[in-house]
Amino acid sequence: MSIATPTYASRTSVTLDAVGALLLAVLWIAPLAFALWAAFHTPQGALSFDLFAPVTLDNFRTAWAGAPWPRYFLNTTMLVTVILAGQLFFCTLAGYAFARFHFPGSDLLFMLILLQLFILPEVLIVENYAMVSRLGLFDSILGIGAPYMASAFGIFLLRQAFKGVPRELEEAARVEGCGWTGVLWRVYIPAAKPVYLAYALVSIATHWNNFLWPLIVTNSNESRPLTVGLSLFAAPESGVNIAVISAATLFTIAPLLVAFLIFQRQFIQAFLRAGIR
C-alpha cells in the first residue's frame, strides 16, 4: 500500500483529526474573538452582533483614561523580569549542582524539590502570605515574585538538560583552564540554550497572566500588576461596560500576543527540542 493512495480508514482519521483540531481552535479563540469584536463597537453593537454596527475607538480612550495603565504595565514588566532573572539564577545553580555534583543527601534533596511539583501553588497562599509579610516584602514587586523564583520545574528541566551534556565536553573545558563556574558558563549554559528559551517563554507567559497571588499580596497601585489592575477596573462597582472592559483586556494582553506571534517558531521548536532530550 503506497503513500500515494491512502486507505479509506486513514483518510477518515485524518479528517477527524482535522475537525477535532479545528473545533478546539475555535473554542480557544472564541473569547479572544469576542473581545476583539466588542472592543471596537458600542456596548449595544457589541451585544447585538450586528455586522454593520459602527466601528469605534472610544472604548480604548475610555479604558486608557480609567486606570493608571502605564504604571500597571511597568509593574508587570518588572515582575516578570525579576521572576525570570531569579529563576534563571537559582535554577541554573541548583540544576548544575544536582546534575554534576554529588554531596550527601543530594538525591533526597532533589526528591523533595520534585515533590514540590505535586503541590498546588494555591495551597501555599496563606503560608506564603505570612512569609512575605515577615520578610517585609508585602505589597512589593519582589514580594509577588519571591515565591516563584526557586522553581522546581526549572530546576528539574535544567538538571535534565545539563545531564544530557557529554562529560568529555566538561573535561575538555577543565583541561583548557575552566573552573566550575567557567564550565557552567562556557559549556553547560550554551548547551542548554533551547531549554532556557522554552523555559523563559513559559515563565513570562505564566507570570504575565498570574492573578490570584498578586491580588492578595498587593494593595497599592505602586505594585499592582496588569491582571490585578484589570480586575479592579472591571469590577461591577466601577460601572464600566463590556465593550470598555474588552478594550482594556486587549491592550493588557497585546504585548504577550505580539511576542507569541514573533517567537511562534522558536516557541514550538524550543519545546520540541527540549522534549527530545
Nearer to other proteins, 150 or 169 (CB): 169
| Whether the Cβ atoms of residue 215 and residue 231 lie closer than 8 Å to each other | yes
HEC string for 82-144: HHHHHHHHHHHHHHHHHHHCCCCCHHHHHHHHHHHHHCCHHHHHHHHHHHHHHCCCCCCHHHH
Contacts with 222 (C-beta within 8 Å, 6 or more apart), sequence order: 71, 75, 139
The residue among 114, 138, 116 whose CA lies nearest residue 128 is: 138
Nearer to other proteins, 102 or 134 (CB): 102
CB of 180 vs other proteins, minimal distance in Å: 10
Q: Is 134 exposed, middle or buried (0-12, 13-18, 19+ CB in 10 A)?
A: exposed
181 sits near other proteins (criterion: CB under 8 A):
no
The dihedral over CA atoms of 248, 253, 259, 260, expressed in degrees to the nearest 10, equals -130
168 sits near other proteins (criterion: CB under 8 A):
yes
Nearer to other proteins, 6 or 166 (CB): 166
195 sits near other proteins (criterion: CB under 8 A):
no
- In the set 114, 191, 202, 216, which binds other proteins (CB under 8 A)? 191
- Choose the stretch contacting other proteins; rule: CB under 8 A; options: 23-31, 111-119, 186-194, 222-230: 186-194
| Whether the Cβ atoms of residue 76 and residue 224 lie closer than 8 Å to each other | no
Site residues for other proteins, 137-166, by CB under 8 A, read 166
- In the set 31, 121, 164, 190, which binds other proteins (CB under 8 A)? 190
CB of 102 vs other proteins, minimal distance in Å: 12
- Choose the stretch contacting other proteins; rule: CB under 8 A; options: 111-119, 124-132, 181-189, 227-235: 181-189
Long-range contacts of 172-179 (CB under 8 A, 24+ apart): none
CB of 179 vs other proteins, minimal distance in Å: 7
- In the set 176, 181, 238, 277, which binds other proteins (CB under 8 A)? 176
- In the set 6, 31, 121, 179, which binds other proteins (CB under 8 A)? 179
Q: Is 205 exposed, middle or buried (0-12, 13-18, 19+ CB in 10 A)?
A: middle
- Helix (H/G/I), strand (E/B), else coil: 55: strand
- In the set 63, 132, 157, 187, which binds other proteins (CB under 8 A)? 187
Nearer to other proteins, 187 or 226 (CB): 187
CB of 242 vs other proteins, minimal distance in Å: 50
177 sits near other proteins (criterion: CB under 8 A):
yes
| Whether the Cβ atoms of residue 139 and residue 218 lie closer than 8 Å to each other | yes
What are 55's strand-pairing partners?
Answer: 41
Binding site for other proteins (CB under 8 A): 166, 168-169, 171-179, 182, 186-187, 190-191, 193
